[in-house]
Amino acid sequence: MPKKNLRLIPSSIKTRLKQLKDRNLVAGGSRYYSAKELSEGILKHLGIEMKNGAPQYPESVIPPSVRGKYSDRNVNGEEIVRKDLEMETHFNAIESPNWGDSYNGTHTVYLPYKAYPRDFIAPALTRLKIKCQNPLPGLDGYLLVFEVDRVLDRKKKGFENDLLICLNLLQENVGFCGLQPSGATFEDYMQTLRVAWDVLPPGSREDAVARLFKGRTPTPEEKKAVEERYDFLISLRPQKLVYGTSGLERYFGGLIQDDLVVFENIQYGNAIYIMFENWEDLSQRSRTELQSGRFGQNFERVTHKKGWKGTVREVIDERLKGRTS
């Protein structure tokens, strides 16, 4: 499950920041959603629903405050206790009886107490802009783009703090985040979905971990998962290993032959893909597109259920056997 909040700007965003030369930037990202996911209300909190077989959505929306602390601050503002300043004297007003008996009436008494000063930051009421690549009815899935409606000047003081706020608005409401130049087109967002592959000779376990998590230290669970996948891939005797990135996602696999590749998204790890001809093109397709049936028998998808390693070996052996018979 994606992180709810980001305490720091992710290393992948920092890398993206170095790649972009533009001064004005926006937090934004894109993702394919199946029609089933949209029908089940995965984005209902943003006003996105399926009606008459097509996605219906607002051009922009203020994320609901209940989605997380950044969404709450965006709607309700924030009160900051200034513990860096000296305490001030405040007063609580209470009604006290006259002469010890309220029958004689009451009078107001002000009781002093000490408290730190507080600053109130007004709500920004920042909106999320929403676009859909092709909102025609009857499709298996749809590419949606989400962009925080706030242009960030990278040379302005407080840029990193503002960027973290915008990234968290995305993270809380769509479960991912990204960075684009202000005025980015649909094509720009599509480009970030493409997996950039590195095809390299097999190295050590440590090499694999370093390549997949460059810029940050993996958690023990992440490290263990990669090491296990590495051992399995090496057991398949690949000619080379493939490493890929797309946005915040990391892909890892083995090239058995030029037209036989095994890989998976290690972040989610829900399935392994075994691809044949044109694997570099197929790997750019979303899960929804691949499952639509439009790409024939050019790949196999194996979920990580009991016995999945044996299933992967069987698919590979069958493929290789067909070439020698």
| Contact present, 283 and 263 (Cβ < 8 Å) | yes
DSSP 8-state class, residue 29: E
- Report the 10 Å Cβ neighbour count for 109: 11
Least Cα distance to 30 among 146, 163, 127, 191 occurs for: 146
For 18-33, the pLDDT digits (tens) are 888 999 999 998 887 8
Least Cα distance to 143 among 173, 179, 182, 188 occurs for: 188
Q: What is the mean pLDDT of residues 268-285?
A: 76
Percent of the chain with pLDDT over 70: 88
What's the pTM? 0.60
The domains of the chain are located at: 11-75+122-193, 78-118, 196-324
For 74-113, the pLDDT digits (tens) are 999 988 888 888 998 888 888 888 887 878 888 898 988 8
289 confidence band (pLDDT: 50, 70, 90): low
Residue pointed to by tokens 């720091």: 8
| Contact present, 38 and 50 (Cβ < 8 Å) | yes
Q: Give the pLDDT of residue 2.
A: 46
Q: What is the mean pLDDT of residues 67-77?
A: 94
Higher per-residue pLDDT: 280 or 62? 62
The region that residue 282 occupies, defined by phi over 0 for left and psi between -120 and 50 for alpha, beta otherwise, is alpha
For 258-276, the pLDDT digits (tens) are 889 998 877 655 688 888 8
For 165-210, the pLDDT digits (tens) are 999 999 999 988 889 999 988 777 766 665 667 777 888 888 888 8
- Lowest-confidence segment of 92-96, 157-161, 261-265, 316-320 by average pLDDT: 261-265
- Lowest-confidence segment of 12-26, 217-231, 251-265, 273-287 by average pLDDT: 273-287
Name every residue whose Cβ is closer than 8 Å to that of residue 181 and which is 6 or more positions away in sequence.
Answer: 20, 22, 24, 25, 26, 188
| Contact present, 146 and 127 (Cβ < 8 Å) | no
